[in-house]
Amino acid sequence: MDAIRFMIAFCISATAYGQAWTPFSAVSAEPQKTTYGVVVYSASWCSPCQRMKATTIPELKKSGTIVNVVDASSWSNEKRASKGASGLPSTKLVKYDYTAKVWRDVGKRWAGFVSAETILSDIRGRTGTVNQVERIVRRVRNP
């Protein structure tokens, strides 16, 4: 009963102060089973890398895909190879492991410029959706 009183008081106080309140049902309490992200190795002197930063990466972020851009400008060829970056730009698909709470390499890599549609179609083929986080974000923003 105290929990119900607390929730009612919270809703009233949040509304009174003009704060938006999102019902808990709008956010899934269970972790998503498959969340994919993209790691892009790029360099400031690489023109295909700059093209990806201007076109592909904003499209991926707009779709809700998690993107991490790593600056590999000063890396030696050996260090790039150890990270799985054969050339620049080099893009790899990663998957979040909720049990271990780490990102894991899926084994899918692209060398050179790659479009957002190519990456998103690969993610769709693996999950059936672009990114399951995208649906949660939409529900929270538009309850």
Provide the pairing of β-strand 36-42 with 90-97: antiparallel
Distance of alpha carbon 95 from alpha carbon 86, whole angstroms: 20
Out of 13-17, 23-27, 40-44, 77-81, the most confident range is 40-44
Q: What is the β-pairing status of strands 66-71 and 36-42?
A: parallel
Q: Are 24 and 137 in contact (CB under 8 A)?
A: no
Determine if the pTM surpasses 0.75.
Answer: no
Q: List the beta bridge partners of residue 91.
A: 40, 110
**Amino acid at the residue 112:** G
Strand partners, 68: 39
Query: For residue range 3-27, what is the model confidence (pLDDT) as tens digits?
Result: 454 444 444 444 444 444 444 333 3
Q: Are 52 and 89 in contact (CB under 8 A)?
A: yes
